[in-house]
Amino acid sequence: MSRFRLETALRVRERLEKLYQKALAEQLQVEQQYRGRKQLMQDSLDSHNNELDTAKADGVTINQLLMGSQFQQRIEQQLKVTQEQLNEQLEVVALKRHELTQATQKKRVLEILKEKELKKHKDETERLERLEADEIAQNSRLKSIN
């Protein structure tokens, strides 16, 4: 059987696809970390607001209100920074997905070429076998007639 002449290119494309898959997985993990961090801050802010509402009903001092306000401002600022980081990470993930899609398409093109070449080789082999079988049958018939 003949060897696919672009086999090396196909193997390179397969390795590239695996590398892109790994890179995408790493970026998705970073994205998940940002989402977790954002959720933690949001939960902390919600908890703080609930505690502040409870403290207001029970009576609260000006110092407590000022400290609570400063805490809330810091958390909101950190939340904004984390959201910006998450948005940047989402762009990176989209880019990695696009790279993986491109690599997969290029690999698939080579796989299709390989399949076509294998089919062509198989068809040619079958054609030659049929010709040989026909020749044997014809020679056999000629011998039986003579």
pLDDT digits (tens, 9 = 90+) for 34-62: 999 999 999 998 998 888 888 877 887 78
Q: Is there a contact between 40 and 86 (Cβ–Cβ < 8 Å)?
A: no
pLDDT at position 91 over 80: yes
Residue 75: alpha-carbon gap to chain centroid: 33
DSSP code for 94: H
Q: Where are the domains of the chain?
A: 7-109
pLDDT digits (tens, 9 = 90+) for 102-144: 999 999 999 999 999 999 999 999 999 999 999 998 988 888 8
Identify the burial level of 99 via C-beta atoms within 10 angstroms of its C-beta, where 0-12 means exposed, 13-18 middle and 19 or more buried.
middle
Amino acid (one-letter) located at 134? D
Q: Is there a contact between 93 and 20 (Cβ–Cβ < 8 Å)?
A: no
